[in-house]
Amino acid sequence: MKKSWVTIIVIAVIALFFYSSIKGNYNKMVAMDEGVKSQWAQVENVYQRRADLIPNLVNTVKGYAEHEKETLTEVVEARAKATSTTIDPTNLNAENIQAFQQAQSGLSSALSKLMVVVERYPDLKANQNFLELQAQLEGTENRITVERQKFNNSAQAFNTFIKQFPKNIYANMFGFEEKAYFKAQENASEAPKVEF
């Protein structure tokens, strides 16, 4: 009779240990997954801030550079594409992040062309409204860099956590998958060609 009680107690202690381990690791994975999603929302937030600045920037430039319609149209179209490309935070895989990044790069490229056009118009470069918008845009670009780095850090912490033993077993059991990172664009390491 004593042996059966000892056996029951040992089994209960082992079961309690496994329950505790699974519960703690599962809850930690959920919290980290939510952290990655929250950080992704911040990335989208700063990209949206940039997109919100563009109509004012385009309207300011339009008043000075009427015959630059092609460039202005490119910026507006790139903005539309960038704002229409969204990712469900539960599906942050490499392919989706790459598509998002390409749309945003298209907008960055169009904005770069616009800034080159602005160089031809000294009155525009001196316009206070334009200068404020340009400063806000530069600040937003810096925020984008910071938020992307924070997202990558959050994704890296999550990925490391779910790959460690025995957490990797629990992650597979509960369907937690690795998160993708923002990566440098192709050709980012090549210096741009400047021609005069």
Alpha helices in 85-127, H assignment, sequence order: 94-118, 122-126
User: Is 177 domain-assigned?
Assistant: no
Show pLDDT as tens, one digit a residue, over the chain (196 residues). Answer: 678 888 888 899 999 998 988 899 999 999 999 999 999 999 999 999 988 988 888 888 877 776 677 888 888 888 888 888 888 888 888 888 888 988 898 888 888 888 887 887 777 777 788 888 888 888 998 999 999 999 999 999 999 999 999 899 999 999 999 998 888 766 544 544 433 2
Q: Give the pTM.
A: 0.77
| Structural domain count of the chain | 1
Q: Do the beta carbons of residue 177 and residue 33 sit within 8 Å? A: no
- Domain hosting 71: range is 35-145
Q: How far apart are CA 172 and CA 166, in angstroms?
A: 10
